[in-house]
Every structure is written in C-alpha cells, then in structure tokens.
Structure 1
C-alpha cells in the first residue's frame, strides 16, 4: 500500500476535534464511526462520504467507479472487523473468527494497483479504481499488522473511558495515549489535581 503518513482529525460529537494517529491506515479507517454506542461518531453516512475518506491522503484513492450503497455496507462491515480484531489483539484475546473471515474476504478482492505517471514523476492508482480495491488494500494491511512484528504493539488508549486503538511504533515502546493533546493532557491534569488535594 502506498502510504506516506497516517493519522486523521477526529471530531467529538460534543464539540472539538483532535489529531489522532493510529499508526496504520486500516486503524485510522476503524475510527470513522461504529456500532452501538460508537454510532455517534459515524462519519460515513453515504457512499460519497466513503469516497471522500478514501480520497484523502495518505491513501489518495480517487475512485473512477462511483461508490455504491453496497460498497458502503461492505466498508462498514470491514471497519467493524478491523475494530474488533484490533481490540482483541490489544487485550491479548483470541481474534473473533467471524471478524477474521470478514477481513480475509475483503483481502481476497483485487487490491489497488500502483502505476507510474507518463512522465515518471508520480505514482498513481491504475484505473479503473473501485472502492472494493481500496477495501482490499485496507484488509491486507490489517492482515500484515496482525501477523507481523508490530502485532504485540497494538494498544488501547490508557484512559479509562477512551476506546481508541493504535500501533505503538515508538522506539521505546512507551506510547500510552491516543493523543497527548487529548487523553494524555487529561491524565496529567487529573494527576496534578490529585497531588494538590
């Protein structure tokens, strides 16, 4: 997968936003919304929202075949599978078989194919570019993550009430928070107040 950087700005339904770098594009994708209590964070309401998310760097996938309602359903199913497998790995639990099946099925589709521009100055995605190809590439990245050397570095934010999950790629293997500007600072403030009390 052609990726130069990861991370996205996440919006809180109560107001405000913060930069969150999950360390992998597939994990960034897992944080675009969710089921149950996480439905309030949903950002993929229609196929155009999915196409817009894919078109944003680092993927920069501009689909040449418009995303459909079926594509959106497949994307949300894959997103949930990535979410639950990442949390299972972070918790040291077995991966849910149905989520593994979903990831494998998405990965079995043809992935994005890189192509060199005519002048040789840029890498593009070879047309036609379909949403299912982007989903396949995300699923393949998740497979590489879960089965690779960083699998044991998939973590949940250390905050008591933050479900965000990320890959700790720091050299000292010491990342604890989704973002210092959010949960890290909140923890520091609570600790300061506790010391003063």
Structure 2
C-alpha cells in the first residue's frame, strides 16, 4: 500500500506527510497527536472513498456499521501511536481491539496480469479494516518500538514511523518542521555573527 498524504495547515499551506505506515495514515483521518486535522469520516461514503483511494483492489461500499468499526479501530491506533511515541504503556483494550480486527480475513495480495480471477472480485470493508489492523500489529511490534516517534519540531508533536535506514528521521516533514528548524538555525547563526 502506498503511504503518505497531503495536509493543509490552518494558514492554508499544503505539505506532504509520510507517516511511514498505512495504519498511521488511517489514524490521521481523525485527530492524532498535535496535528489538528479535520474529521474525514463523517459518513459511510467518506470511508468508502478513503478505502478506494488507497487499496489497489476494489473494496465494497461501507455501511453505517462499517463506519462505526472503522472509527473504533482508528481511534485505538491513534491512542497507541501517541503512547508508543512518548514511551507510555499501551492500553490493553486498544491492543485487544487491534488484535480482534487483525484476526479476521484481510484483503489478499494478488499479482496483476493473470487471466483468471481468484477469489472475490470486490473485497469487503471488514477485510480492508483487517489489513489496516495487521499493519498496526507490525507498527507496534518490538521491531518498530524505537521508530515510532514524535516530530522534533518545538511546536509539533506529529507522530510518525521512522523508516529511514539509519533511523535518523527527526521531522514530520522537511517541508514543514525541518524547514522551520533550518530557518531558525540560520537566523541564530546570522544574529550571532552580527553580534560578534
């Protein structure tokens, strides 16, 4: 699954945010950490649209119950991400919810270009939620425990998975907080030279 999405700040500035995880992208359909995003899942059609934009296979239309389930899963992932990023323990109820969704059948992988359709031609929303939950299981595994982080920006606490080889990512986005930090450092050096 492709990861990342565009956000717009309150000031109207668009920036690309690569969360590093499909499950985190899903968490950002609502509020997580310090990133104030508008709620994106108001109605079943909103969930259907989000899933259709991200899954390479056809996913059926969401119903009201699917929306309820999706929001419950999303909120559990959000709470877990924030907790892990600040070194707090995970809530057992959130773990249980993610495990419950991860235990159900997910969207099976398939190779394009074949001549026969194996399995369903349209996947269910429940299968899509299971795929997201399985990504969350990987996200919160011991292998990634030190890589789920908050942005180092002074006024930012956006949560992301550091997928860099050296595990050295510091910013939610170089376009946003990384650039701000560079500007601040440049101004500080300039002021220091002027004072000398």
> TM-score w.r.t. structure 1 length?
0.84
Of 28, 41, 46, the residue aligned with 2:38 is: 41
Distance (whole Å) between structure 1 residues aligned to residue 137 and residue 21 of structure 2: 12
Runs of 4+ deviating beyond 4 Å: 35-40, 121-125
**How far did 1:182 drift?**
0.6
CA separation of 1:22 and 1:54: change in aligned 2, threshold 3 A: same
Gaps of 5+ in 2: 192-196
> TM-score w.r.t. structure 2 length?
0.84
State the Cα RMSD in Å.
2.6
Question: Contact 1:51–1:62 at 8 Å: present in 2 too?
Answer: no
Corresponding residue number in structure 2 for 1:157: 151
Corresponding residue number in structure 1 for 2:126: 132
Distance (whole Å) between structure 2 residues aligned to residue 29 and residue 101 of structure 1: 18
Alignment size in residue pairs: 191
Question: Contact 1:12–1:41 at 8 Å: present in 2 too?
Answer: no
**How far did 1:104 drift?**
1.4
CA separation of 1:13 and 1:42: change in aligned 2, threshold 3 A: farther
Map 1:80-95 → 2, pairs under 5 A: 80-95=75-90
Map 1:113-192 → 2, pairs under 5 A: 113-116=108-111, 119-120=113-114, 126-192=120-186
**How far did 1:106 drift?**
1.6
The Cα offsets for residues 115-156 of structure 1, whole Å up to 9 and x where unpaired, read as: 456x51799983341111111111111112212522321111
Distance (whole Å) between structure 2 residues aligned to residue 52 and residue 160 of structure 1: 34
Distance (whole Å) between structure 2 residues aligned to residue 125 and residue 134 of structure 1: 15
CA separation of 1:90 and 1:40: change in aligned 2, threshold 3 A: closer
